[in-house]
Amino acid sequence: MRQQHDVAQLGMWVFLATEVLFFGGLILSYCVYRSAYPAAFAEAARHTKIIIGAANTAVLLTSSFLVAWAVAIVKLRQSRFAAVLLWGAGVLGVIFLVLKGIEYGMEYDEHLLPGLDFFYPGEQARAVGLFFSFYIVATGLHAIHVAVGIVVLGVIGARARQRAYSDAYHSPVTVAGLYWHFVDMVWIFLFALIYLPGRSG
């Protein structure tokens, strides 16, 4: 059992390395275009909704905290309380998606979503379009990750409620936790790249 646990964890870490490079391709695109069109990117970033973005960051960080708490508990003993924490984290994930959806709606109304409806007056239209292309792809993929994570948390929470996990067997909780924290970590960087540039200008 000990070994099985270790195997699953190592597998997840390797998978996360894969995920880093998956988003890495996008990050490179972003860096290239931001270095090419710094002014346009600052201008574009000012059109993002920093309040929603910051709120969402807080939501995800808190959700991660709940998962870390749940992991700490199941490592000690069987607990139905862990289920509450996991589901709580999942609910925060849902809140994140709802906020994100509202944000997409606002941007759609402002014609800022390339591929769906993009119109931007002025000279920088193309580079602003590049920024929002990156924005929609990156946040969209991240949202898919969040959605998957919510389902996983829901299932694991249900199993935890049935007292399936204990100090002897809690591999699914820790592995799902690793995934969820990673999703959180991706957002930390996306937040810095998408919402923060150009605020002081």
Partner 1 sequence: MSAPRNYLTEDNRLRSWFFTTDHKRVAVLYFASITLFFFIGGAAATLIRLELINPQGHLVTSDVYNRLFTLHGVIMVWFFLIPSIPNTIGNFIVPLMIGARDLAFPRLNLASWYLFMAGGLTTLYAMFAGGVDTGWTFYTPFSTMYSNGYVVLAVTGVFIAGFSSILTGLNFIVTIHRLRVPGLTWYRLPLFLWSLYATSVILVLATPVLAMTLLLVALDRAFGIGIFDPARGGDPLLFQHLFWFYSHPAVYIMILPGMGVVSELIAVYSRKEVFGYKFVAWSAIAIAGVGFFVWGHHMFVSGQSPFAGLVFSFMSFIVAVPSAIKVFNWTATMHKGWIRYDAPMLYALGFIGLFTMGGLTGLFLACLAYDVYVTDTYFVVAHFHYIMVGGMVTAYFGGLHYWWPKITGRLYPEYWARAAAILIFFGFNMTFFPQFILGIEGMPRRYHVYPPEFQVWHVLSSAGASILAVAYALPLFYLGWSLFFGARAGANPWQATGLEWQTTSPPPKHNFEGTPIVKRKPYDFTVKGKARAQNA
Partner 2 sequence: MTRDRYPPRAIVVSWAALMALLTLTVLGAYLPLGAGNTVLAMIIAAIKAALVAAIFMELRERNPLTLAFACAGFFWLGIMLWLAFSDYATRPNFPPAMHWGQ
| Count of CB atoms situated within 10 Å of the CB of 155 | 14
Cβ closest to partner 1, residue 14 vs residue 72: 14
Residue whose CB is less far from partner 1, 18 or 162: 18
Smallest gap from residue 39 Cβ to partner 1 (A): 13
Q: Which helix (H) or strand (E) holds 1?
A: none
Would you say 24 or 105 has its CB closer to partner 2? 24
Per-residue tokens: 146: 């969040």
Say which entry of partner 1, partner 2, none residue 155 contacts (CB below 5 to 8 A, set by partner kind).
Answer: none
66 near 88, Cβ under 8 Å?
Answer: yes
Shortest distance (Å) from residue 20 CB to partner 2? 3
Q: Is 170 in the site for partner 2 (CB under 8 A)?
A: no
Closest contact distance (angstroms) between CB of 94 and partner 2 is 20
Q: Which is nearer to partner 2, 72 or 144 (CB)?
A: 72
Pairing state of beta strands 112-113 and 117-118? antiparallel
User: In this structure, what token pair is assigned to residue 184?
Assistant: 């959180």
Cα–Cα distance for residue pair 55/60, rounded to 1 Å: 9
